[in-house]
Amino acid sequence: MADWTTNGKVMALRRRSKAANTLVLAIENFRTHRTGRNAALVAHYGFLSVFPLLLVFTTILGFVLQSRPHFRDQIINSAFNRIPIIGEKVGSQPQELKGNVLVLIFGLMIALWAGMRAFNVLQSALDDIAEVAMPRRRSLLQTRVRSLLGIAFVGGAQIATAILTSLVAVSGVQVLTRVLLVIGAVVVNTAVIAAVFRWLCVQHRGWRQVAPGAIAAGVAFATLQIAGTVVVGRAIANASSIYGTFASVIALLTWLSLHAIVALVGAEINHVLPARRHK
């Protein structure tokens, strides 16, 4: 079977239009670089890191509630008790939440392992997109060191953008303030993604080279975060504890998968640019 990219009509369109040729190359590269598979692996390990983080959060909450019973009443009467898994436990049996150092350490270790695996796969995915030969790729030690630093950098930035987008989604601030918050989230996301493209891939690229894909991904990230805050917030508020748990797991997997795909598609865009006609 002939390659669809060399079909007569497709080739005519590629020779006539720079944008069409760039789009065809991006779609074909998505397949040949195994970008879909790599995005799924990033989302998989990201998902595995979430539940240990919930374990850590619950343990820390246990430490806080043990010595501050007045906080317990405030939490139970707040929207916090609507959060699936944790919220149900806090609302029904808050006295059972207790801090445990061993559990805290175990949760942190598992979350760190899963987070490092996600960033290891991300580095490999970016090298696949840049078509870096295996001998030129980083060693296991170099990869893991960069993964640790990436967790700290990207994790901090995601917390910042999550706060900004949450303010946009749930607050009653004026329209101008909301616009500025959205712009701030886009700027932070774009800067982080551009840094990831430059720093995690072996092939060196300048800021101008990574800018198109980073801007596209940054805008998409902010949109996903704002939409996700609104949709998930309403779903949690209206769902029962059982169905809310299932919905949260499905929503989390979808959210992580979309973010992974968007980020890697941004890298694919940078790989095929600048736009040019097929000769």
pLDDT at position 87: 57
DSSP structural state of residue 205: -
pLDDT at position 119: 92
| Interacting residues of 140 by C-beta distance below 8 A, sequence separation 6+ | none
Helical pair 18-32 and 8-16, crossing angle rounded to 10 deg: 120
Cut 0.95: pTM above it: no
Cα–chain center distance at 56: 20
DSSP structural state of residue 230: H
Q: How far apart are CA 272 and CA 186, in angstroms?
A: 23
Tens-digit pLDDT profile for the chain (279 aa)?
A: 457 777 778 788 888 888 888 888 888 888 889 999 999 999 999 888 888 887 787 787 777 767 666 666 665 555 455 555 555 555 555 556 667 788 888 888 998 899 899 999 999 999 999 989 998 999 888 898 888 888 887 777 767 766 666 665 555 556 666 677 778 778 888 988 998 898 888 988 888 889 999 999 989 888 887 776 655 555 555 555 555 566 677 777 888 888 899 999 999 988 888 766 655
Nearest to 53 by CA among 252, 258, 261: 252
| Interacting residues of 204 by C-beta distance below 8 A, sequence separation 6+ | 198
**Is residue 158 within 8 Å of residue 152, measured between CB atoms?**
no
Q: How far apart are CA 145 and CA 223, in angstroms?
A: 31
- DSSP helix/strand/coil, 53: helix
pLDDT at position 232: 55
pLDDT at position 1: 41
Where in the chain are the domains? 17-272
- DSSP helix/strand/coil, 34: coil
Q: How far apart are CA 49 and CA 52, in angstroms?
A: 6
Which letter, b or e, does each residue of 61-74 get, where b requires 16 or more Cβ atoms within 10 Å of its Cβ?
bbeebeeeeeebee
Q: How far apart are CA 239 and CA 136, in angstroms?
A: 50
Q: How far apart are CA 103 and CA 178, in angstroms?
A: 40
DSSP string of 46-106, one letter each residue: HHHHHHHHHHHHHHHHHHHHHH-HHHHHHHHTSGGGGSTTHHHHHHH-GGG----HHHHHH
